[in-house]
Homo-oligomer: A and B are copies of this chain.
Amino acid sequence: MTEFRRDCQTHFVHDDIIRKVRETIPAEEDLYVVADFFKMFGDATRLKILQALAISEMCVCDLSELLHISQSAMSHQLKTLRQVNLVKFRKEGKVVFYSLKDEHVNQIIETGIQHVTERE
């Protein structure tokens, strides 16, 4: 039928299952945005940044000191975190303080840690 896939032949595609799933699955349009959101948690450096900010607001310099990465790399990471609305900032003179903009962060990371430690 489809040009993509349609050769589970003898077995015959489980149309009932596919239909059910198609009806239930959420809108595809936003999935790329959701994926981009989760990408933020898919990097150890950003995970540490988020964990740090969950404890206290911090300036860029302190963050790079804390994680032992360059100021430039830190600024780049903070930029990507800003783009997905995970962090906000305030300026105090030359210093820029970042903090979490989303209360879900801790919950999400905790679930991830839980998953990883649960299993063998």
Contact = CB atoms under 8 A, between A and B. Distances in A.
Interface of A: 2, 4-8, 11, 13-14, 17-18, 20-22, 24-26, 28, 30-39, 41-44, 47-48, 51-52, 55-56, 58-59, 61-62, 64-66, 68-71, 85, 93-95, 102, 104, 107-109, 111-117, 119
Copy tally for this chain in the complex stands at: 2
Contacts of A65: 2, 4-6, 8, 13, 18
A24 B116 contact: no
Contacts of A116: 30, 33-34, 37
User: DSSP majority for the A interface?
Assistant: helix
Contact of A8 (B4, B55, B61, B108): B61
B59 A20 contact: no
A33 B118 CA distance: 12
A37 to B, nearest CB: 5
Contact of A5 (B41, B71, B119): B71
Contacts of A104: 111, 114-115
